[in-house]
Amino acid sequence: MLRKIMFLLLLCLAIGVHAQHELSELKIYVLLLPNGDAVVEEDRTMYLADQGTEVYEKMNGLEDREMRISDFGVSDSIYGDYQLVGWDVNQSRAWKAGRCGINTTEEGLELCWGFGEPGPHTFTTSYVLHNLVQSYTDYDGFNHCFYDAANPPAEYVQLALWASDTTIVLSPENAGIWHFKYHGDAWFSESGKVLLKSTQALDNGDKVVLMMQFKKGLFSPEVKHDETFESRVKERAFIDSDYTMDDPGEGSKSSFMGGDDESVFEHYFYIAIGLLVFIGLPLFAILKLILHKPLERRRKRKLILKVLGNVDEVPYYREPPLGGNLIGSQRILKNTLGMLDVKTTFGTKEFTEALLLRLLYKGNIDIAMEQNEKGETRELFRIQEPVAVSSNDNVELKASDKSIIQEYIRKKYSIISSPADDEEMERGLQDLLYRAAGDDHLLQPDELKTFIQNEKNVLSVRDFASKLSSAVDNRYSSEFAFKNTKPEEARQVFGFWEYLNDFSIIGEREVVEVKLWKDYLVFGALYGMAKKVREGMKKICPDYTALDGLTRRFLEESSGATDAFSYVSLLSIATYDTIRYSSTYETAFERQARLEREARAERERRYSGGGGHSSFGGGGGFSGGGGSGVR
C-alpha cells in the first residue's frame, strides 16, 4: 500500500512539473544611441502551460533615475505584431491574446502582453529605454538590471550591447564592464560589442545586472550629474560583491549567495495540488487526445473556407498573381498548400531560378554565343552592369519615432527583419553575377566556384544571402500568415497554381495566354514546376512564331548536349550553391576570432572593467528589475 501511495505522489508531482511554464532561452539586444538612450529587443523562447493569462516584465525605479520607457511593442510566432492598448491585468486570456500594454504600479511599471493559447511561443519585445547612459564628472555610464528572474526563470540568457555609431568600437581601452547576481561570463568582442552569457540556469530571484562606464566623448547623455561615477554608482554596486575598487583580480568564481530553497510549506502545497488534480487531469487529457484531431480538422476547414472558399470551386486565374509579385506569391502559395496538407518542394533555390529568368526577360542578362579555339560553339551569359540606386542608410535618429529607429536597426543590424521586394532581389542577384563574370562580363556557371573561393567575395555575398533568406522564409507560422491573407489574393495565387498544373490538359490556346507564357515560365520556376510548365507549353503550343524570341528559344530542343533552358537551370543551381556556401563558410578571420573566444572562455579570467565571471553578490543601486514571469 505504501508503494502505491508513493507512486501516486510521484505521478502527481510529475504532472505538476509538466504543467509548469518554461523559459528555455532569453536573448537581449541593446543598441546604445548617441544621446544615451537604448533600443532594447528581447527574444523569449517559452512553453506556456494552461495557467495564467499574460507575460510581464517589471521596470522599477526608472523615474527616480530620470529614465522612462517608450515605443513598447510585441510580436510572436502565432499572433504576429501585437496591438498596443491600455492594459487591464484583470481581463480574460481571450481579450489579452494579440495585445500588449504598460501597467503602472506603485513601484514603477510593467510591460505586459497576452499569450493566448498554451503551448510553445517565441516572443519578441522591443522598447526604447530613455537615459540609460548618464553623464558623471569622470565617466559616462549606467548600472541596470536587464532581467529579473521569476516565474519561470530562464534556463539560458545571453546579452549583446553595442553603439549605433559604427565608429565606436567598445573595448577595455574606452569602457569597463561589471556584472552581478547570476552565474555567467562577459567580454568585449573583436567587433566592438559587449557580450554576456549565463553558464547555468537561473533561479527565482537571480538577476542579470550590467554596469558599464565609458570614457568621455563616446556618448552625449542628456542627464548629467555633478558627482563621479565611482562615488555615485560603482562604490554602491561593489558592496558585498567580490569586486574591489583597486584590485583587478584574476578570475575567481562567483560566490553563491542567492536562490532560496523551496520552503517546507511550498513542498507540501505542491503535493496537495498534485493530489487534487490527479483525478481530473488524466480524464481531461484523455478527452483532449480523443477530440483533438477532429476539432483541429474542423477548425482548419472553417479557416480555409473563410480565406479561400470551397477549394474545388476556386476558378482558374490565368494572369500572374499579385501583379507579378514573386515574393508574395511564393509565400501565399506555401502557406495555402500547408493548410491543405499538400507537401511543398519549393524555396530559395526555386526563387533564385525565377529571379534569373526575370532578369533574362528584362534584358539585364543575355545569352551569348561564343566559339572556342576548336570552333565549337558554346553559350555564355552576358551580365549587364547593375544600375546604382540611392541609399537611405544615413537616417537621422529620433528616439521618439519608432518607425525610424526600427528602420535603422533593420538596415544596420538586422535585429528586426524586413522582407526585401522583388526589384531589390533582382539587383542583388545581378550584382553578384556581374562581379563573378569578371572584366569581360561573360559568365559561365563554373566561374562562380572560382569567385566564391575568395574570402572577400564570401563576405560580400552574405548580405544578399541574408536578404534572400528573409524574402523566402515566413517570419510567422503558416496558419497565422494564411489567416491574415486577403481572400482575393489567396484565390489568385491558388487559382494560378492550379491553372499551371492543368493548362496543358485544358488545351486552351488563346493568344492572350501565349503572350503570357514568359510569365508562366518564371512562376513555374518559382513554384518548383518549371519542367512541367515547359513540357506543357511544348505540347499545346500552336505556333512558336507567336512567342517572343527568348521563350521560343527555351522551348526549342537543342542539338547540343544542353538546351538553353537547361543551361539557365545549371546557372541557377550554381548561384544557389554559391549563396548557400557564403552563409556557412568560416573565414580565416572568423576562425581566429572563434579560437580566441574559446581560449578566453577556457581561461575563465576576470579583470576590473574587463568582464569575466559575474559577481553573485553586490550590484546594488541598479535601475530596472522587480521581477518578470507569467501570471
Q: Is 507 exposed, middle or buried (0-12, 13-18, 19+ CB in 10 A)?
A: exposed
Helix (H), strand (E) at residue 583? helix 564-584
Q: Which residue has the higher pLDDT, 18 or 565?
A: 565
pLDDT at 405 over 60: no
Give the model confidence (pLDDT) of 134-169 as tens digits: 999 999 999 999 999 888 999 999 999 999 998 999
* Strand residues in 139-234 grouped as ranges (E): 140-148, 157-163, 175-180, 184-188, 194-198, 207-214
Which triple of cell numbers denotes residue 382? 552576358
pLDDT at 447 over 70: yes
Indicate the pLDDT class of residue 394, thresholds 50, 70 and 90: very low
Q: Which residue has the higher pLDDT, 548 or 250?
A: 548
**134 and 221 Cβ atoms separated by less than 8 Å:** yes
* Averaged pLDDT, 100-126: 90
pLDDT at 190 over 60: yes
Q: Which residue has the higher pLDDT, 597 or 125?
A: 125
DSSP state of 231: I
Indicate the pLDDT class of residue 543, thresholds 50, 70 and 90: low
pLDDT at residue 617, rounded to an integer: 57
pLDDT at residue 267, rounded to an integer: 44
Closest CA to 180 of 206, 154, 156: 206
- Highest mean pLDDT (candidates 240-249, 297-306, 370-379): 297-306
What whole-number distance in Å separates Cα of residue 221 and Cα of residue 228? 15
pLDDT at residue 295, rounded to an integer: 72
The rounded mean pLDDT for the chain is 77
Indicate the pLDDT class of residue 580, thresholds 50, 70 and 90: confident
What whole-number distance in Å separates Cα of residue 400 and Cα of residue 313? 50
What whole-number distance in Å separates Cα of residue 554 and Cα of residue 534? 8
pLDDT at residue 594, rounded to an integer: 72
pLDDT at residue 343, rounded to an integer: 83
pLDDT at 399 over 70: no
pLDDT at 396 over 60: no
Give the model confidence (pLDDT) of 488-513 as tens digits: 999 999 999 998 888 766 655 554 46
Q: 214-228, 293-307, 405-419, 541-555 — which is least confidently predicted?
A: 405-419
Instruction: List, in order, residues 6 or more apart from 607 with CB less than 8 Å away.
Output: 248, 249, 250, 251
pLDDT at residue 450, rounded to an integer: 80
- Highest mean pLDDT (candidates 80-84, 299-303, 447-451, 625-629): 80-84
What whole-number distance in Å separates Cα of residue 174 and Cα of residue 609? 10
Indicate the pLDDT class of residue 125, thresholds 50, 70 and 90: very high
Indicate the pLDDT class of residue 558, thresholds 50, 70 and 90: low
pLDDT at residue 55, rounded to an integer: 94
pLDDT at 435 over 80: yes
pLDDT at 610 over 70: no
pLDDT at residue 607, rounded to an integer: 40
User: Which sign, positive or negative, has the C-alpha torsion 537, 540, 544, 547?
Assistant: negative
**What is the end-to-end Cα distance of the chain in Å, rounded?**
38
pLDDT at residue 99, rounded to an integer: 92
What whole-number distance in Å separates Cα of residue 528 and Cα of residue 347? 8
The full 3-state SS of 520-543, as one line of letters, equals HHHHHHHCCCHHHHHHHHHHHCCC
* Averaged pLDDT, 304-325: 89
Indicate the pLDDT class of residue 256, thresholds 50, 70 and 90: very low
pLDDT at 206 over 70: yes
* Averaged pLDDT, 469-492: 79
* Averaged pLDDT, 553-571: 68
Indicate the pLDDT class of residue 285, thresholds 50, 70 and 90: low
